[in-house]
Structure 1
Amino acid sequence: MQKIDSKEVYKGIIIRVEKDKVRLENGVETYRESVRHRNAVAVVALDEENHLLMVEQYRYPIGCKLMELPAGLIDEGEEPLEAAKRELKEETGHGAEAWRLLTEFYPSGGVHDEKIYIYLATKIKEVSKPHLDGDEILTSHKIPFKELLKKIELGEIQDGKTIIGVLLTEKFI
């Protein structure tokens, strides 16, 4: 596919929307719309008793609260691992001695270019009080791993990055 022309149709704080004129492999010219979004991280924070640190927060686009892994956007110039460490501390007040990249993936590649990096953090300990951004309201929870698996099976966990992170962590338990 070849991009012929590109037009930015919206620019917000977190996203931009582009409308591109493209030429497909078969020569047909058409349009593609895409959302440009900063990359993000999520952290599977696992303690010695196989409990995970989770956060529950209201997600405006879908109009409900979700139970999720601690997560957030990667700042410009920041490495994914550093962002993961920062988000874990900001949202839960915890740090970790051991870190492992579980996966990186595109949650909705047909619409936007965001990539999410999921890290497993072990040997966790409380290092401070949570320091939430001014526009964040969330509740922290510590949930047994097996209970989270059951919640996923029952459809009670609706967040994609959380489902992926929890399922990939099972082999480490």
Structure 2
Amino acid sequence: MTNKFEEKTIATTQIFNGKIINLQLDEVTLPNGETSKREIIRHPGGVGIIAVTDENKILFVEQYRKPLDKSLVEIPAGKLEPDEKPEVTAKRELEEETGYTTDKLELVTSFYTSPGFADELLYIYYTDKLVPIKEKMALDEDEFVELVELTLEEAEALMIENKIHDAKTVYAITYLQHLLKK
């Protein structure tokens, strides 16, 4: 792959620096020599965990998502902390959100969530070696989740009902469907 369509940054203006994201406005030179503006969200990245119990139940959490004004059922997930390795984040989020831990996390893939306007890179991990932890870890002070354990068929039904409706969780279900075909 070449950078034949590269856009050169002329100037960057910081618009907002927040707890989760930063927003900047870049003025760029386009490949044809014209200029344009690009709104860019900077995000530290995150993880999602496909966690399957000994009973072949998939661990999900139900959580209210304010941008959508509704609750979704999602795989456990969270934001990378500064200088934190993704597998450390994955284990921490699994423990905080589900009450389980693991010593076996397998990196499945990583992908950019919305490359048209954000640089967030999401890492997806898989584990089927879960161990309940004795004392559940505290969630973030502004985080409210409920553990949901579903079979693959139940999760597929929630996708049809748009109760599972985010890309990382749909990817997780598709991944598990693929594993079953092997």
TM (normalized to structure 2)? Answer: 0.90
User: What is the rounded CA distance, in whole Å, between the counterparts of 2:17 and 2:147 in structure 1?
Assistant: 32
Q: Deviations over 1:24-51 (max 9, x none)?
A: 1111111111111120001011112211
Q: Which residue of 1 aligns with 2:3?
A: none
Given candidates 32, 35, 38, the residue that maps to 1:32 is 38
User: What is the rounded CA distance, in whole Å, between the counterparts of 2:138 and 2:46 in structure 1?
Assistant: 18
User: What is the rounded CA distance, in whole Å, between the counterparts of 1:154 and 1:48 in structure 2?
Assistant: 27
May I ask how many residue pairs the two structures share in their alignment? Answer: 173
Given candidates 15, 30, 35, the residue that maps to 1:9 is 15
Q: SS of 2:33's equivalent?
A: coil
Q: SS of 2:105's equivalent?
A: strand
Q: Which residue of 2 aligns with 1:100?
A: 106
User: What is the rounded CA distance, in whole Å, between the counterparts of 1:66 and 1:155 in structure 2?
Assistant: 8
Q: Which residue of 2 aligns with 1:80?
A: 86
Q: Which residue of 1 aligns with 2:26?
A: 20
State the one-letter code of the partner of 1:73.
K
Relative to its length, the structure with more strand (as a share) is 1
Given candidates 161, 169, 180, the residue that maps to 1:162 is 169
Q: Which residue of 2 aligns with 1:62?
A: 68
Q: SS of 2:117's equivalent?
A: coil
User: CA RMSD for the aligned pairs?
Assistant: 1.3
Long gaps (5+) in structure 1: none
For the pair 1:142 / 2:149, whether they are aligned, the reply is yes
User: What is the rounded CA distance, in whole Å, between the counterparts of 2:78 and 2:30 in structure 1?
Assistant: 35
Higher alpha-carbon deviation: 52-61 or 121-130:
121-130
* CA displacement at 1:160 relative to structure 2: 1.2
Q: Deviations over 1:54-77 (max 9, x none)?
A: 100111111111100000001111
Among all aligned residue pairs of Structure 1 and Structure 2, give the percentage whose two residues are the same amino acid. 36
Q: SS of 2:92's equivalent?
A: helix
TM (normalized to structure 1)? Answer: 0.94
Q: Which residue of 2 aligns with 1:52?
A: 58
